[in-house]
Amino acid sequence: MAAYTPAFRPLDLPTAPASMAAAVATGQFEEPFSVAPFTPPSIKLAPVAAAPESAPLPANSEPELEAASVASKPLLYETGIASTYGDDDGFEGLRTGCGGIFHTHQVQVAHKTLPCGTVVRVQDTDTGKSIDAEVTDRGPYVDGRIVDLSLAAFTQLDPSGTGLLHVNVYILDTSNQYLYRLR
């Protein structure tokens, strides 16, 4: 039986010099992959003197972008209609748009555009009652509605049951991780 001869000859690769580091000689050419923590872009603000509360805003102020740091008061994001979901509609125990599991008896909020994990305050404009919750899902998918509340969140605002409420949504996220465009 004849010896096998390959139809091609492997390339002549240079060998590693004796002074090369051990990691290179063993075939590990890169550092282990690691992700650097996210650093939000800094917002440069010029120092200003304290103005009386009734003073008008300067003409060059830009209220479109506000940082999420709201130490003194929450940032009003939007006003509209809130609905409830999760009460015998098949969502209990399913995976949410943000990757968690939906439980209707936990205070959770679904929003179309706010980043997952954003902490919001939803306030009933008729009664003034409010709940603080984390955005854990996407929705609502009905025109004219701005936020979906789990049954637990909705009953804290309106104990009479499911339905619709007129609400204000405030951003409470103080991580300074996100910038929000005001509506």
Task: Delimit the domains of the chain by residue range.
Answer: 65-181
| pLDDT of amino acid 2 | 59
C-alpha separations of 56 from 22, 51, 96, 140 in Å: 67, 9, 44, 37
C-alpha to C-alpha distance for 145 and 159, rounded to whole angstroms: 20
Query: Would you call 24 helix, strand, or coil by DSSP?
Result: helix
**63 cis-preceded (ω within 30 degrees of 0):** no
| pLDDT of amino acid 48 | 52
- pLDDT confidence tier of residue 61, bands split at 50, 70 and 90: very low
Looking at the chain, the whole-number percentage of residues with pLDDT higher than 70 is: 55
Q: Is it true that domain 65-181 has CATH number 2.40.40.10?
A: yes
pLDDT, the chain, mean: 74
C-alpha separations of 125 from 60, 67, 121 in Å: 32, 24, 12
| pLDDT of amino acid 173 | 73
Indicate the pTM of the whole model: 0.58
- pLDDT confidence tier of residue 112, bands split at 50, 70 and 90: very high
